[in-house]
Amino acid sequence: MFKIICTDASCIKNNNQLKLKNKINCNIPASILLGICCICLFSSFNQTGKPSTKPDKEKAQPKIVNIVNFIRLLEPRDPAITEEVLYQTVVKQVQLMKKYKLGGTFLLQYDALLDPRYQMLLKSLPRNTFEIGAWWEIPQPLVEKAGLKWRGRYPWDWHADVGFSTGYTPEEREKLADVYMTDFKKIFGYYPKSVGCWFIDAHTLNYLYQKYKIVASSNCKDQYGTDGYTLWGGYWNQAYYPSKINSYMPAQNERNQIPVPIFRMLGSDPVRQYDEGLGTDRQGVITLEPVYKFGGGNANWVNWYFKQFVSGNAMEYAYTQAGQENSFTWDAMAKGFQIQLPLIARLRDEHKIKVETLAASGTWFRKQYAITPATSVTINQDVTGSDRKTVWFNSRFYRINLLWEKGALRFRDIHLFNENFPSIYTTSKATSNECSFFTLPFVDGFIWSTPGVFAGLRFKALIDGKEILLEGKDPVVTNTIPGVLHIAWPLKSFNRTLVMDIDERQIKMDIPGEKSINWFLDLTTAPAANLPFNKISPHVVNCSFQNMSYTVTTTKGIFSTPNDSTVVRITPEKNAVVLNFAERN
| DSSP string covering 205-225 | HHHHHHHH---EEEEPPSBSS
Q: What is the pTM of this model?
A: 0.88
Task: Count, in order, helices (H) and strands (E) of the chain.
Answer: 12, 33
E strands present in 323-465: 354-355, 375-379, 389-394, 398-405, 408-416, 435-438, 440-444, 456-463
Rounded to whole angstroms, the Cα distance separating 179 from 177 reads: 6
CB 291 within 8 A of CB 324: yes
Rounded to whole angstroms, the Cα distance separating 446 from 448 reads: 6
| pLDDT tens string 526-575 | 999 999 999 999 999 999 999 999 999 999 999 999 988 899 999 999 89
pLDDT score of 42: 33
| Domain 63-371 indexed as CATH 1.10.10.10 | no
Rounded to whole angstroms, the Cα distance separating 368 from 581 reads: 24
Rounded to whole angstroms, the Cα distance separating 119 from 125 reads: 10
| pLDDT tens string 469-526 | 999 999 999 999 999 999 999 999 888 999 999 999 999 999 998 788 899 999 999 9
| DSSP string covering 92-144 | HHHHHHHHTT--EEEEE-HHHHT-HHHHHHHHTS-TTTEEEEEE----HHHHH
CB 318 within 8 A of CB 238: yes
pLDDT score of 51: 32
Long-range Cβ pairs for the range 343-350 (8 Å, 24+): 343/302, 343/303, 343/306, 344/65, 344/67, 344/100, 344/102, 344/306, 345/100, 345/101, 345/102, 347/306, 347/310, 348/65, 348/102
Res 46 pLDDT > 90: no
Q: Average pLDDT, whole number, for the chain? A: 89
The arithmetic mean of pLDDT across residues 241-246, rounded, is 97
Beta bridge partners of 314: none
pLDDT score of 278: 86
Name residue 399's amino acid: R
Name residue 295's amino acid: G
Res 17 pLDDT > 60: no
Rounded to whole angstroms, the Cα distance separating 216 from 260 reads: 5
| DSSP string covering 151-204 | --SSSS--STTTSSGGGS-HHHHHHHHHHHHHHHHHHHSS--SEEE-S---HHH
Q: Where in the chain are the domains?
A: 2-58, 63-371, 379-580
Closest CA to 197 of 107, 118, 329: 107
The arithmetic mean of pLDDT across residues 121-127, rounded, is 96
- 251-265, 323-337, 428-442: lowest mean pLDDT where? 428-442
